[in-house]
Amino acid sequence: MSLLVKICGLSTRETLQTALDAGADMVGFVFFPPSPRHVSLETGRELGRQVKKRALKVALTVDADDATLDNIMDALSPDIFQLHGRESVARLRDIKQKFGRPVMKAVPVATSADLAVLPGYAAVADRILFDARAPKDATRPGGLGAPFDWHLLENLELDLPYMVSGGLDAENLAEAVRITRAGGVDVSSGVESAPGVKDPELIKAFIRAARATRELSVR
């Protein structure tokens, strides 16, 4: 199975089309107003129509309530919810049951202690996304363009598909995959010319680099 590639934080028709034409497996849309990549429900509806099943639509939320998730379901009809806040295991179970969609739980990583949450989430989530833990003063929990120490995942044994993210770009993703054995890579800042401004050439370069990376994951 080849490496899964997720391009996150897409917000325009043109860059979404670039990601789809370049072969992205997942396209992520951020529904979190403080983010420079935030999209409105109407933009989400329009971009969602453009995907036409060429990739999995990932709705990225942060501690969203049911009404927000319901509105996103109506607008985007996501294939996966990416839960990037402090959602509990019980909340993951609740969301899966209420909305009938797979969930990918973002796990922030700074030290090995951050991995203690895995057994609980792994029992409910469909996928895990390891991301760099945001600094305490950050205005958002992700999309910050900073990597974490991939060696923290070197001896990971996780019976669930997982992706690595945080500060990835076309130049470092192969090393991140080699060390973490992740089955997928996710990027936002590394394919942007400015916060929230996706660069078509960087998107294509990232996907080319991912396709050239030998699949090492055991999952």
Q: Active-site residues: which are they? A: 8, 131
Among 47, 161, 186, 203, binds ligand LARABZUK (CB under 6 A): 186
Long-range contacts of 19-22 (CB under 8 A, 24+ apart): 19/55, 19/198, 19/203, 19/207, 20/50, 20/51, 20/54, 20/55, 22/203, 22/204, 22/207, 22/208
198 φ, ψ (degrees, to nearest 5): -70, 140
For ligand LARABZUK (CB under 6 A), the number of binding residues is: 26
- How many angstroms separate the CA atoms of 80 and 82, rounded? 6
Q: Is 190 in the site for ligand LARABZUK (CB under 6 A)?
A: yes
- Based on CB atoms, which residue is closest to ligand LARABZUK, 39 or 157? 39
Among 180, 189, 213, 217, binds ligand LARABZUK (CB under 6 A): 189
Q: Is 57 in the site for ligand LARABZUK (CB under 6 A)?
A: no
- How many angstroms separate the CA atoms of 211 and 41, rounded? 32
Q: How far is the CB of 20 from ligand LARABZUK (least distance, A)?
A: 17
Q: Is 144 in the site for ligand LARABZUK (CB under 6 A)?
A: yes
